[in-house]
Amino acid sequence: MSLTNEQIQLKLQEKFGEQVSNFSEPFGMLTFEAPKEQNLKVLQFLYDDEELKFRFLTDLQAVHYPNDKGRELAVVYHLHNLVDNVRIRFKVFTNINTPDVFTATQLFATANWMERETYDFFGVNFVGHPNLKRILNVDEMDYFPMRKEFPLEDQTRIDKDDEMFGRGGSIN
């Protein structure tokens, strides 16, 4: 455990300056974000740097924040440095109307299906992906089901609205 979160943060700030931001450490995992145009540069730097060596893509997925205008979709990368055993979380936010994010498939072969899954459920358009089509849902589907505007419950039921789940409403 020679590599600490502070060192990673310093190296990133040294290289990218103001562009990497919002550093935090929830449950000990360094989390930060960058503009979506920069995602490949950041991933490449994390991969190539002789001290950082984040060469294992553990996971890639998206999160939908419908109330955060202009930054509705977050694409989250979990990276792992297997040598020093350090994990980091890297996020890029994108507008939901033009959800274009560069693909990481050139760097990680494993990103192929992960990005297809993310596209399938959130509609993130990975620019440059070799085969960006639906993977788990049927090909004919014309919406992205994990977005928050598609509720799970039958909307005619009043006993299952959001306040029963601790969000909004009077019971809380």
Partner 1 sequence: MSDVQNILLPEGSIEKKTITLNVGPTHPATHGVFQNIMEMDGERVMSAESTVGYIHRAFEKLAERRPLYQITPITDRLNYCSSPINNIGWHLTCEKLLGIQTPKRVDYLRVILMELARIADHLICNSIVGVDTGAFSGFVYLMEYRELIYEIYEEICGSRLTTNIGRIGGFERNFTPVAWQKLKKFIAEYPKALKEFENLFTRNRIFMDRTIGCGPISAERALNYGFTGPNLRAAGVDYDVRVHSPYSSYEDFDFIVPVGTTGDTYDRYLVRNVEMWQSLSIIEQAVQKIENIKGADAEVYHANVPEYYLPAKQDVYSSMEALIWHFKIIMGEIEMPKGELYHSVEGANGELGYYFISDGGRTPYRLHFRRPCFIYYQAYEELIKGSMLSDAIVVMSSLNLIAGELDA
**Contact footprint for partner 1 (CB under 8 A):** 26-27, 29, 31, 55-59, 61, 63-64, 76, 78, 82, 85, 87, 89, 108-110, 112-114, 117, 121, 134-138, 145-146, 150, 152-153, 164-167
CB of 47 to partner 1, least distance (A): 11
Residue 36, classified by CB atoms within 10 Å of its CB into exposed (0-12), middle (13-18) or buried (19+), is: buried
CB of 36 to partner 1, least distance (A): 19
Q: Whose Cβ is closer to partner 1: residue 3's or residue 146's?
A: 146
Residue 127, classified by CB atoms within 10 Å of its CB into exposed (0-12), middle (13-18) or buried (19+), is: exposed
CB of 17 to partner 1, least distance (A): 25
Asked if residue 32 lies in contact with residue 22, where contact means CB atoms within 8 angstroms, the answer is: yes
CB of 49 to partner 1, least distance (A): 17
Asked if residue 11 lies in contact with residue 93, where contact means CB atoms within 8 angstroms, the answer is: no
Q: Whose Cβ is closer to partner 1: residue 82's or residue 127's?
A: 82
Strand partners, 125: 100
